[in-house]
C-alpha cells in the first residue's frame, strides 16, 4: 500500500512537472510571437517613413534629377520631396510664395508673384534674384539646365538672357499656333527651345526665328529635352488618351511611347536624367509619378495621388 502511494506521488510530481514546463513553453511561445509582431510593426513603420514625402506633394511646381543622376527631386507647394534608390524622403526646404520651380545644374529657380526668379543652390541658399520681363503668371519661364540661360515667353514675345537677367533680348514668334502651355530649353544648346501648345509642339534652334512643328492639332501639356548631344524631346499629350512621344527634330520623327499605365490624367512634368539617358520620370496633375529606366519600355509607379510609394 505504501508502495502504491509512493508510486502515485511520483507520478503526480512528473505530471505536475510536465504541465509546468508545457505552461512555460506556452508563455515563451506567446512572448516570441509578441516580439515578432512588434518587430514586424517596427519594420513596416521604418519602411514607410520614406513615404511621408509623398503625402506632402500638393501642387507640383517642378521636377528634376540631381546632377549625378542619383536623386529625383519634386518641388511642391510644401517643399521638396526626394526619391533615391527606391525610397522617398523629405528635404527641409521652404519655398515661400513659389508658383513655379525650374531646375538648373547645382540648384534651381523659384518663381514668385513679385515678377522675380530666385536662383538657389541645392541646399536652398539664395544665389541671386532675377527680375523677369513680366509677371510669371502672365507667361512661361524656363532655364537651360547646364548653361543657365533664361527664357520667358509672354504671348508671342520671347525674352532671352545669357547673363542671369542683367539684360534681355526680345524676339516675336512666328509660326506658333495655339495657346502655349509649357516652355522648355535645351540644357546645352543656346537658343534651342520647345513650345508646347494646345495645337502642337514647336521646336526652334535659332531662338524663335524659325520653328518646326510636331504633333499638329494635339494638346501638348508637358515637354522636356534629353541630356544627350543630339536634340531629343519627350512630349506629353492630353485628350481622349494620355500619350507620351519621343521627338527627334533632326529626323522629323515622332515616336509614340507605350504609356498605358496612365489613364486620362494630364502630364504636367517630365524629368529626364542627365546622367542616365534611359531614365525618365513623368508626373501627372493628380500627383501620380511613373518611372522608366529603359527608355519607356516599362514603367513603374512611384507615387500615387501625391503619396510616395517606396519600392525597396
Question: pLDDT higher for 163 or 10?
Answer: 163
The rounded distance, in Å, linking the Cα atoms of 184 and 204 is 11
272 forms beta bridges with 280
Q: What are phi and psi of 69, to 5 degrees?
A: 80, 5
Let me know if 222 is exposed, middle or buried by CB neighbors in 10 A (0-12, 13-18, 19+). buried
Lowest-pLDDT range of 26-35, 119-128, 296-305:
26-35
Q: What is the pLDDT of residue 57?
A: 72
Q: What is the pLDDT of residue 231?
A: 77
Flag whether pLDDT at 7 surpasses 60. Answer: no
Domains of the chain: 57-308 (2.130.10.10)
- The average pLDDT across 19-38 equals 74
Tell me which residue of 272, 271, 275 sits closest to 70, measured CA to CA. Answer: 275
- The average pLDDT across 290-294 equals 92
Answer positive or negative: Cα dihedral of 127, 131, 137, 140.
negative
| Residue 137: all three cell numbers together | 503668371
The rounded distance, in Å, linking the Cα atoms of 161 and 169 is 6
Taking only the tens place, the pLDDT of each residue in 191-229 is 999 999 999 999 999 988 999 999 999 999 999 998 866
243 forms beta bridges with 237
Amino acid at each position: 500500500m505504501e508502495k502504491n502511494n509512493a508510486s502515485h506521488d511520483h507520478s503526480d510530481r512528473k505530471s505536475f512537472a510536465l504541465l509546468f514546463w508545457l505552461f512555460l513553453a506556452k508563455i515563451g511561445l506567446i512572448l516570441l510571437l509578441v516580439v515578432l509582431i512588434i518587430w514586424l510593426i517596427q519594420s513596416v513603420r521604418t519602411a514607410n517613413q520614406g513615404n511621408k514625402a509623398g503625402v506632402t506633394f500638393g501642387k507640383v511646381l517642378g521636377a528634376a534629377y540631381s546632377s549625378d543622376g542619383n536623386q529625383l527631386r519634386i518641388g511642391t507647394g510644401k517643399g521638396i520631396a526626394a526619391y533615391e534608390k527606391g525610397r522617398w524622403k523629405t528635404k527641409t526646404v521652404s519655398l515661400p510664395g513659389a508658383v513655379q520651380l525650374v531646375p538648373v545644374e547645382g540648384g534651381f529657380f523659384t518663381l514668385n508673384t513679385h515678377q522675380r526668379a530666385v536662383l538657389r543652390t541645392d541646399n536652398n541658399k539664395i544665389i541671386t534674384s532675377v527680375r523677369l520681363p513680366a509677371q510669371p503668371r502672365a507667361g512661361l519661364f524656363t532655364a537651360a539646365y547646364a548653361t543657365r540661360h533664361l527664357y520667358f515667353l509672354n504671348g508671342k514675345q520671347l525674352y532671352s538672357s545669357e547673363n542671369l537677367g542683367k539684360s534681355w533680348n526680345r524676339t516675336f514668334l512666328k509660326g506658333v499656333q495655339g495657346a502655349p502651355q509649357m516652355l522648355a530649353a535645351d540644357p546645352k544648346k543656346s537658343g534651342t527651345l520647345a513650345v508646347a501648345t494646345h495645337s502642337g509642339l514647336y521646336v526652334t534652334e535659332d531662338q524663335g526665328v524659325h520653328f518646326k512643328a510636331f504633333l499638329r492639332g494635339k494638346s501638348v501639356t508637358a515637354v522636356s529635352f534629353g541630356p544627350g548631344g543630339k536634340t531629343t524631346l519627350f512630349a506629353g499629350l492630353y485628350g481622349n488618351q494620355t500619350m507620351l512621344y519621343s521627338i527627334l527634330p533632326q529626323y522629323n520623327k515622332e515616336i509614340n511611347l507605350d504609356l498605358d499605365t496612365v489613364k486620362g490624367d494630364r502630364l504636367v512634368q517630365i524629368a529626364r536624367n542627365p546622367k542616365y539617358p534611359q531614365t525618365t520620370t513623368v508626373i501627372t496633375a493628380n500627383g501620380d509619378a511613373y518611372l522608366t529606366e529603359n527608355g519607356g519600355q516599362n514603367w513603374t509607379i512611384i507615387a500615387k495621388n501625391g503619396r510616395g510609394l517606396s519600392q525597396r
